[in-house]
Amino acid sequence: MTARTLELIDHGRYPLHDLASDAGRRFVDDARLTFSREGLIALEGFLRPGTTRRIVHHALSDERQGGHRFSGTSDVFFHTEAGEDRQTGLAYTKTDVPYDRISPLSPVRALYQWDLLLDFITAVVGGPVHRSADPLGAAVVQIQRDGDQQDWHFDISEYSVLLHARAPESGGVLQYALRSRDRVRRDPDAFRRITAEDPAAPLRHLPTASGTLVLHAGSVSMHRVTPVRGRTPRINATLTFNSKPGQTLNEYTRRLHFGRDH
């Protein structure tokens, strides 16, 4: 299983099986530095082309059989802050395939269950991480078509790995405000500046590129996905992790994104 999972990635460039070697240590040191400076790392060409093709194939058939079309608004904190329901006011759309509807044959499942990926994340974030225990949101495949977008939010999970499988013709950029949670919670003006893309509160941008693995700390950096444009859908998988075992989403978020609670 592990040997075969290794073949899903470019392990010559990204030696997840050999982190104790000189090359492995250099790779982790670089990733750790970038993660602490930028709040995320993006490993281009991490997935082999055959892997992204298989993710796309399963995403499109899983979408037909178990995809949930979301259309609406949400609280940027997903109800994790008592007494808060902070909305940008934007109605947005996207389609999610929840974990229990992702094909067992999709590489997304093999990669989520792969212990070497867990070891790599642990090394980069500097402490043990665990897979989510959420039956629906632990790992999600997202399909975004022309006009779809995800509004500003903070993730409930501490860490997300994003697997970019297909890039759209344009749009579909991950924008984030580095370590903005405390600022946004305390200061409505900070929130307004970020969502208005005020140059005084500079945002970081990450376009979608097929094959890239992104690791980000989405619970502390407010982020969104800009509107996708064109006929090619954006296809992305989100795998979630926490420093504590047994963590889940909440009912609000499950109902919002999957239309059901279990």
Ligand X SMILES: O=C(O)CCC(=O)C(=O)O
What residues make contact with ligand X under the rule CB under 6 A?
Answer: 142, 150, 155, 162, 174, 218, 223, 225, 236, 238
Residue with smaller CB distance to Fe ion, 63 or 155: 155
β-bridge pairing 234-242 and 159-166: antiparallel
Answer for which of 98, 107, 218, 233 binds Fe ion (CB under 5 A) is 218
Backbone angles phi, psi at 36, to 5 degrees: -75, -30
Q: Which of Fe ion, ligand X, none has residue 236 at its interface (CB below 5 to 8 Å by kind)?
A: ligand X
Q: Which of Fe ion, ligand X, none has residue 88 at its interface (CB below 5 to 8 Å by kind)?
A: none
- Residue 124, classified by CB atoms within 10 Å of its CB into exposed (0-12), middle (13-18) or buried (19+), is buried
Q: How far is the CB of 225 from ligand X (least distance, A)?
A: 5
Q: What whole-number distance in Å separates Cα of residue 242 and Cα of residue 107? A: 21
Binding string to Fe ion for residues 74 to 113, with x set by CB under 5 A, is what? Answer: ----------------------------------------
Residue with smaller CB distance to ligand X, 51 or 208: 208
Q: Which of ligand X, Fe ion, none has residue 106 at its interface (CB below 5 to 8 Å by kind)?
A: none
Residue with smaller CB distance to Fe ion, 54 or 153: 153
Q: Which of ligand X, Fe ion, none has residue 162 at its interface (CB below 5 to 8 Å by kind)?
A: ligand X
In the Cβ-directed half-sphere of 238, how many Cα atoms lie within 13 Å?
Answer: 25
User: What region does 30 belong to: left with phi over 0, alpha with psi -120 to 50, or beta?
Assistant: alpha
Q: Which of Fe ion, ligand X, none has residue 167 at its interface (CB below 5 to 8 Å by kind)?
A: none
Binding string to Fe ion for residues 152 to 171, with x set by CB under 5 A, is what? Answer: ---x----------------
Asked whether position 172 contacts Fe ion by CB under 5 A, the answer is no
**Distance from chain centroid for Cα 181:** 17
Q: How far is the CB of 124 from ligand X (least distance, A)?
A: 18
Q: How many helices (H) and strands (E) does the chain have?
A: 8, 14
Residue with smaller CB distance to Fe ion, 16 or 217: 217
Partners of 44 in the β-ladder: none
Q: What whole-number distance in Å separates Cα of residue 4 and Cα of residue 91? A: 42
Q: What whole-number distance in Å separates Cα of residue 156 and Cα of residue 81? A: 11
Q: What whole-number distance in Å separates Cα of residue 8 and Cα of residue 10? A: 7
- How many residues bind Fe ion, per CB under 5 A? 2
Footprint of Fe ion (CB under 5 A): 155, 218
